Amino acid sequence: MRPGIVLYGSGGNARVILDMLRLDDRFHVVGLIDDNPARHGQRVFGAPILGDDKTLAELQKQGLQHVVNAVGSAKNTAPRTTVHDKLVAMGFTLPSLVHPSVILGQEVTIGAGSLLMAGVIVNPGTTIGRNCLINTGTVIEHDCTIEDHVFIGPACALAGNTKIGQGAFIGIGANAIQGLTIGKDAVVAGGAMVIRDVGPGWWVMGVPARRIR
């Protein structure tokens, strides 16, 4: 019998993850967890929203071991990081999920709890940390380093030897030329073209990308 898995979160990102799990025969979906009581009892693609943290703790007592961090990001990766750390502290296993259409090169490393959505390409020698979310159609070239808790939006492209610091947010359609560093907790706006290093905590936007805060 396949082990059960629960999604923490029930928004749009959870819908995408449920669709991925439909194609992943390792688990069966028990349901979803949401802190909003108004959502409890509703269904997402047929999967029930079971309750909040108390419900999750009860499920753990019944033998549940696997949880997916289904919280999304909107220029701020802190909520995903907080949920990840809470689930780890509770003792859950957060498996990495990779859509079957993803192309992985040789010697690619993917950390626990990271999610690679449909159509992602990761070329050889790249390291992806824990709790990263790599969205639909993104290309990560050879020998990149993506640290923990990074969010990369759909249709981004990172050239070879790019380093993305912990907790950084890369918006939809953003690109970076080879060999750059995008610092910890930086925000790269959608559509930006990064041609120079981005410091920790900077916000950049535009073509070429310029610091705005």
Residue 74's contacts (CB-CB under 8 Å, 6 or more residues apart) are: none
Q: What is the dihedral of CA 36, 40, 44, 47, to 10 degrees?
A: 130
User: Residue holding tokens 């690109």?
Assistant: 175
pLDDT of residue 63: 96
Phi, psi for residue 54 in degrees, rounded to 5: -65, -40
| Angstrom distances, CA of residue 20 to CA of 26, 56, 76, 118 | 11, 22, 24, 8
Taking residue 28's Cβ as centre, other Cβ atoms within 10 Å add up to 12
pLDDT of residue 73: 83
Return d(Cα 41, Cα 50) in angstroms, integer: 6
Contact 179, 191 (CB under 8 A): no
- CATH ID of 4-90, from 3.40.50.20, 3.75.10.10, 3.40.190.10, 3.40.50.300: 3.40.50.20
pLDDT of residue 48: 97
Rg (CA), the chain: 17
Residue 53's contacts (CB-CB under 8 Å, 6 or more residues apart) are: 33, 35
Q: How many whole angstroms from its chain centre is CA 48?
A: 22
Q: Report the run of H or E that residue 12 belongs to, with start and end.
A: helix 12-21
**Start and end residues for every CATH 3.40.50.20 domain found in the chain:** 4-90
Residues in the chain, pLDDT under 70: none
| Angstrom distances, CA of residue 164 to CA of 2, 48, 188 | 35, 36, 11
Q: What is the pLDDT of residues 17-30, one digit of tens each?
A: 999 999 988 999 99
Return d(Cα 190, Cα 154) in angstroms, integer: 9
**Start and end residues for every CATH 2.160.10.10 domain found in the chain:** 97-199
- Superfamily the domain 97-199 falls into: Hexapeptide repeat proteins (2.160.10.10)
Rounded to a whole number, what is the distance in angstroms from the first to the last CA of the chain? 52
Return d(Cα 20, Cα 181) in angstroms, integer: 31
